[in-house]
Amino acid sequence: MSSHTGSAAPGLVLRTGVPDTAAYDEAVAGAVAEGLASRIASHDADLWGPEAAEEAGKRLGWTGLATASRPLVADIEALHAELATQGVHRVVLCGMGGSSLAPEVICEAAGVPLDVVDSSDPDFVRRAAGERLSETVVVVSSKSGGTVETDSQKRAFEAAFRDAGIDPAGRIVVVTDPGSPLEESATQDGYRVFRADPEVGGRFSALTAFGLVPSGLAGADIGGLLDEAEAARPDLEADSADNPGTRLGVLMGRAAVDGVDKLVLADAGSAYPGLGDWIEQLVAESTGKDGTGILPVVVEHLDAPDFGRQATPDSVLTAIGPRTTFLDGLEPPSGYTVAVDGPLGAQLLLWEYATAVAGRILGINPFDQPDVESAKAAAREMLDGAGEPPRLRFSSGAVSVFADGASGGDWLPDGTDSVPDAVSALLDRLDPEQGYLSVQVYADRHRDAGLARLRPALAVRTGRPTTFGWGPRFLHSTGQYHKGGPATGVYLQVTTEPEADLEVPGRPFTFAEFLTAQAVGDGRVLAGKGRPVLRLHVASPEHLDALVRELV
């Protein structure tokens, strides 16, 4: 194993460790010789093959956003000042995936509060829509304008504002693409609308209105963020063996081709640990398709078991933050390590370039998400009452156990009657070389934050890469990889009943019905791909903690 440190980009540091330096250097040299970085920067849509060319042709606008988005800054700052004079200080963001993950991390880095509502959980939504409304502005962000979660959240806030005697027109700000159904309805409703750049896909949209509007309204220095990205541009666009975007992308792509396809991400003392969640979406949705891809595994910290002593041979250990010296003396089984540090604006662009480069090496179209729609369709089917009812296998105390997948759930032996035994049967299905466990909790991610303990505990127990996601948030991130990537996952879903359900105003379903339909629908699609899916449905949130204690 050898390591390389370097980057001329201001403040951007990339250190890489690889098992075969000669092969890696040769691959980097190949990428430089074909002018990969400069061709991405000049929007060469042919880089990902003929089938991807049409989509790529309208999805490369992200390379120039540090300049192109500049005129937005003054508008956003003016609105921020206007709202401040009205005593409006709390910013809520309704949006999923690419429409909320960037502002979440930008605001975290800036140390300004942003309430991200990216849930269909009725308790979560009701609490967010019931707090400090007199000082709240709600940004509703959806590129397509058709995402049901976002539309439902918007409806809940509109109703809450009206109930509080506040005109929603003064308090709802919409970010969407020109021509979307949301643009049309929002304009009719008299909402303030920011039109985003349609030549940029959702997960590459951090430096468009999607990232900048909520962050700027929350008080983040968005001009400074663009400066950071601008300063990194020359190095990221250069056809040079020192280009950190090329180096990172080649490492990710080559490692994955060699079977080292889990990108284990740990924060190394950065001011924005949430960057891992943003990278997760970028990498998982961009690469997880056509039976291939890179699975990001966001772990708690550098001391997480699967980052050190239990690192698996298919993992690239990746540290983000100033403690880049973690590489010294670390010899993971795969030989692959990455340490990245630098200003947030520069890192956003770095990871976008790296993902585009890795996508080229993997031979996929990094700009589509063909399998996300399947889970949405299955959820719609459940809501319409058209889907088959879930198959209850047994109940034990407060937990009802459903098993699906591989031959209709036959992987769970008949006669299984305890929750730990059912979980053991699921984990027995893990492939010891390439398999991963995905833990998916459909609950209130603030109230039920303790469930996140399941991830490290099950990682230790299985010795395999283990991801954790809150439903429906993860459906817009790793959800694409689960269904489009290698068929090596096993899936543990946890669902619960809410403290109280909540109507989705003007819709024929409630938030709880929608949330359950999302879990069951996604499980159904995964099962249809022959993957084992175990759902533990807990009778009330009060029993969630007992379930965790039973399993860790």
Ligand X SMILES: O=P(O)(O)OC[C@H]1O[C@H](O)[C@H](O)[C@@H](O)[C@@H]1O
Entry field: residues in the chain? 552
Answer for which of 59, 203, 360, 524 binds ligand X (CB under 6 A) is: 203
144 binds ligand X (CB under 6 A): yes
Site string for ligand X, 254-293 (x = CB under 6 A): -------------------------------x--------
Q: CA Rg, the chain, in Å?
A: 23
CB of 376 to ligand X, least distance (A): 8
Q: How many CA atoms lie within 13 A of 5 on its CB side?
A: 8
As a whole number of angstroms, the distance between CA 94 and CA 294 comes to 28
Q: Which is nearer to ligand X, 147 or 246 (CB)?
A: 147
Q: Which is nearer to ligand X, 200 or 459 (CB)?
A: 200
CB of 145 to ligand X, least distance (A): 7
Q: Which is nearer to ligand X, 20 or 189 (CB)?
A: 189
As a whole number of angstroms, the distance between CA 436 and CA 116 comes to 28
395 binds ligand X (CB under 6 A): no
CB of 475 to ligand X, least distance (A): 6
Q: What are phi and psi of 206, to 5 degrees?
A: -55, -35
Answer for which of 28, 37, 93, 96 binds ligand X (CB under 6 A) is: 96
Q: Which is nearer to ligand X, 122 or 211 (CB)?
A: 211
Q: Which is nearer to ligand X, 96 or 383 (CB)?
A: 96
Question: Other C-beta atoms within 10 Å of 396: how many?
Answer: 16
Give the contacts of 180 (CB within 8 A, at least 6 positions apart): 142, 143, 144, 145, 146
Give the interface size with ligand X as a residue count (CB under 6 A): 15
Q: Which is nearer to ligand X, 150 or 518 (CB)?
A: 150
C-beta of residue 150 within 8 angstroms of C-beta of residue 144: no
Binding part of the chain for ligand X, among 90-98, 487-495, 517-525, 537-545 by CB under 6 A, reads 90-98
C-beta of residue 373 within 8 angstroms of C-beta of residue 365: no
Query: According to CB under 6 A, which residues from 462 to 491 bind ligand X?
Result: 476
Binding part of the chain for ligand X, among 141-149, 259-267, 352-360, 483-491 by CB under 6 A, reads 141-149
CB of 99 to ligand X, least distance (A): 4
Give the contacts of 490 (CB within 8 A, at least 6 positions apart): 426, 427, 429, 430, 435, 436, 437, 438, 531, 532, 533
Quick one: which H or E segment has residue 249? helix 244-257
Q: Tokens standing for 512?
A: 């709880």
CB of 208 to ligand X, least distance (A): 11
DSSP lists the bridge partners of residue 320 as 267, 340
CB of 4 to ligand X, least distance (A): 32
CB of 40 to ligand X, least distance (A): 19
DSSP lists the bridge partners of residue 535 as 402, 493
C-beta of residue 246 within 8 angstroms of C-beta of residue 31: yes
As a whole number of angstroms, the distance between CA 503 and CA 514 comes to 10
Nearest residue to 471 via CA among 488, 491, 453:
491
As a whole number of angstroms, the distance between CA 109 and CA 116 comes to 15
C-beta of residue 378 within 8 angstroms of C-beta of residue 522: yes
Binding part of the chain for ligand X, among 38-46, 94-102, 259-267, 514-522 by CB under 6 A, reads 94-102
154 binds ligand X (CB under 6 A): no
Answer for which of 64, 202, 484, 486 binds ligand X (CB under 6 A) is: 202
540 binds ligand X (CB under 6 A): no
As a whole number of angstroms, the distance between CA 376 and CA 358 comes to 27
* Helical pair 222-237 and 209-218, crossing angle rounded to 10 deg: 140
97 binds ligand X (CB under 6 A): yes
Q: Which is nearer to ligand X, 202 or 214 (CB)?
A: 202
Q: Which is nearer to ligand X, 196 or 236 (CB)?
A: 196
CB of 71 to ligand X, least distance (A): 22
CB of 95 to ligand X, least distance (A): 6
147 binds ligand X (CB under 6 A): yes
Answer for which of 99, 120, 440, 516 binds ligand X (CB under 6 A) is: 99
Chain residues binding ligand X by CB under 6 A are 96-99, 142-144, 147, 150, 202-203, 285, 369, 372, 476
